[in-house]
Chains A and B, each alone.
Chain A
Amino acid sequence: MAKANYEVGKRTPEPSRLGADDTSATGVMDEEAPETANSETIHKEHEAVKEAQKSRFEEIGRDTLISLYHQMLLVRRFEEKSAEAYSSGKIGGFCHLYIGQEAVAIGAISAIRKDDYVLCSYREHAHAIAKGMTPESVMAELYGKAGGCSKGKGGSMHMFDQKVNFLGGHGIVGGQIPLATGVAFASKYKSTDQVTLCFFGEAAVNQGAFHESLNMAQLWKLPCIYICENNQYGMGTSLARAMSSQDISQKACAYDIASEFVDGMDVLAVREATLRAVERARKNYLPTLLEVRTYRFMGHSMSDPGNYRTRAEIERHQERDPLKLFTASLKEEGVLTDSDFQRIEAEVKEQVEKAVRFAEESPLPNEDELFTDIYANPIEPGKR
């Protein structure tokens, strides 16, 4: 496995390949598979990978492995249900689904504490649930109901929960990056050891907000971990059509920030890379940039025509479906049996159904709510 390089400005050139299949570890499978020497070498490599995976699983522990799997399945089923509810008109506006990217949010957020902070873009249902928000409060928010986490005022793009330090869903591409930097600034100002995870898509890297934030984060040594979920498309525009230099992790060099390139289809690789970044942030108030290569199986939003990529391309990436890969590893290592998988599937089904029931039954926001929460200190003009 490629080791993280902790020297400032250095990066790990190769993604972690453990737990993945033998396709290109970047997740891009258009390239030809590399020529292999002979069957003996392949066998040796395979054995080494298996050994490494075994010790890795032992280190993480059964409970965590099961919890990771449970959460990945939960957010997958949650999003499938959201798509269904959107199609039947129960959810309005924009609805950006996370299917295909689950390993990123679940892996990364499993590496932090409850009192750490998370900020995201508008594709944040999974992150919200991973951070400890109930599926009920997230689904009710999607339904625009009073029981939603933002009282029905935020919707799909603006999930918030102060109780678990989930600081939003933000709708302007890259807008959350300076905000997260400020949250990390506050942790350092108050001398706490809390860290901040900031999630954004690769298209946000072209925004000034990204560059301005990374500059300040390293200049002032802020405990912020920038997690670029490179799903290879900014809406319908591919990375190749939008970014002159597409090696995102290398952009950290411009700001002397440590960075890693991570296989975003491997939940454990994401978790491990985040753990390394968290240690740097918690102990030494240092930022990190993680480029996590992943792929979005669904459209940008529910109204995506999908005409910018082929079905074959999506199917190629689906071969490395993060849930499928993790399931295979868990089976291979004997962590979970078929009956365990069935039990978890049933539990998750019940959780999602409960969330939908809650959302259905939750009342609409009271119409008076239209005029609340505009000011924390409302002023009656003219009143001394």
Chain B
Amino acid sequence: MAVVTMREALNQALREEMLRDENVFLMGEEVAAYEGAYKVTKGLLAELGDKRVIDTPITELGFAGLGVGAAMAGLRPIVEFMTFNFSILATDQIINSAAKMLYMSGGQFKIPIVFRGPGGSAFQVSSQHSQAIESWFAYFPGLKVVMPSTPADAKGLLKSAIRDDDPVIFIEQERMYGNKGEVPDDIDFLVPLGVADVKREGKDATIVARSLMVPVALKAAEVLEKQGVSCEVIDPRTIRPLDIGTIIESVKKTNRVVVAEESHPFCGVGAEIASEITERAFDYLDAPVKRVSSADVPMPYAKNLEERAIPGVEQIVAAVREVAYL
């Protein structure tokens, strides 16, 4: 097991799956010659050639739809969005074509495609380049939505996503590409979609966190441990389908929940998780489910304002203390 960055882990997954199946190809802006705006696709053009690794024009709706069409005809495209901010231009093809094709064709046309790229907050790039939009995609039946928080999960989940026969939205976190962790070398190492991971065990409160909020929640748990509060940190890893069972089991044990997310609170994934917990485990709750989300504002540029907009360790600590009535 080697220690590698999230970026390298994703690169390994892409390379291994493209070598395994020649129907897998990768397309997107700057993925080939430039080797990726975030260098996730480094070395792939040189090794796999320009038939498999394709630079596209800046034409998100067009190449997203082209990918869906190629999937209808039997290929397994990986479409990179330079960032998920730009996927907004492609949502017609993702939602109206990819998500619905199997259903409206009466089960005839599956769409094995992965739409991947960085999402969530970035470093001081203001409102249009720094936002979390997973709740948009998670809303739609037909899509699967994955958000890894460690290099090992990133590799194992991306490999599963590429092998999956459904459209998968795979959101990497722009701030986490350099995060390091141990990653298995086994080329058949897979992390199944739809399975949450208990990142830390605890007994007093549950923190449900995804993507960037996982390391923040783990730090908060350390702080709280010193204050005598034992926290369990659960990473759903897949937003849709959501492994609510693992969350409910934890709630039944701890009776207190905080959902931490860097997306906006209104109509967000955290709201869905809170609602599920209320419906399934109301009698086990000793306090209302508490959400910690980004400020409900467009992302500002100024460093101090940006820092205030994204949840940090202190907010999670405060939220856990609130549900524990401390």
Contacts and interface: CB of A to CB of B under 8 A. Distances in A.
Given A381-B241, A382-B196, A182 B142 contact: no
Interface residues of B, number: 55
B72 A179 contact: yes
A178 interface: yes
A149 to B, nearest CB: 7
A208 B241 contact: no
B49 interface: no
Most buried by B among A171, A178, A186: A178
B242 A381 contact: yes
Nearest to A179: B69
Interface string B38-78: 00000000000001000011010111111111111111010
A190 interface: yes
A162 B92 CA distance: 23
A172 B92 CA distance: 8
Contact of B65 (A153, A160, A182): A182
A32 interface: no
A154 interface: yes
A168 to B, nearest CB: 7
Contacts of B238: 379, 381
B5 to A, nearest CB: 26
Interface string A184-223: 1111011000000000000000001100110110010000
A263 to B, nearest CB: 29
Nearest to A212: B62
Contact of B57 (A180, A183, A216, A377): A216
A383 interface: yes
B159 interface: no
A181 B64 CA distance: 11
Given A179-B65, A372-B107, A375-B142, A384 B165 contact: no
Contact of B106 (A152, A177, A179, A184): A152
Contact of A373 (B67, B75, B103, B196): B103
B57 A380 contact: no
Given A208-B61, A379-B144, A383-B194, A185 B69 contact: yes
Most buried by A among B105, B109, B241, B242: B105
A161 B108 contact: yes
Nearest to A377: B165
Given A182-B73, A382-B243, A216 B105 contact: no
A158 B104 contact: yes
B61 A153 contact: no
A212 B59 contact: yes
B202 interface: no
B229 to A, nearest CB: 26
A143 to B, nearest CB: 14
B237 to A, nearest CB: 11
B208 to A, nearest CB: 14
A19 interface: no
Contacts of B142: 374-375
B192 interface: yes
Interface residues on A, range: 35 or more
Nearest to B90: A178
B195 interface: yes
Interface string B232-273: 000000100111111000000000000000000000000000
Contact of B243 (A154, A168, A381): A381
Given A178-B93, A189-B75, A376-B110, A183 B69 contact: yes
B57 A182 contact: no
Contact of A189 (B25, B110, B165): B25
A153 B66 contact: no
B319 interface: no
A383 B63 CA distance: 34
A148 interface: yes
A154 B74 contact: no
A99 interface: no
Interface string A7-44: 00000000000000000000000000000000000000
A131 interface: no
Contacts of B75: 185-186, 189-190
Contact of B109 (A167, A181, A213, A219): A167
B128 interface: no
A177 B166 contact: no
A150 interface: yes
Interface string A143-166: 000001111111000101110000
B107 A373 contact: yes
B102 interface: yes
Given A153-B106, A216-B59, A383-B194, 10 more contacts: A119-B69, A154-B105, A158-B105, A175-B92, A186-B72, A189-B75, A374-B103, A375-B102, A381-B238, A383-B195
25 contacts: A148-B106, A149-B106, A150-B104, A152-B106, A162-B105, A170-B97, A172-B92, A175-B65, A175-B97, A182-B67, A182-B70, A183-B69, A186-B72, A209-B65, A212-B61, A213-B65, A213-B66, A216-B57, A219-B57, A375-B102, A376-B102, A376-B110, A376-B165, A381-B195, A383-B195
Closest 5 CB pairs of A and B: A182-B69, A178-B65, A212-B62, A151-B106, A186-B73
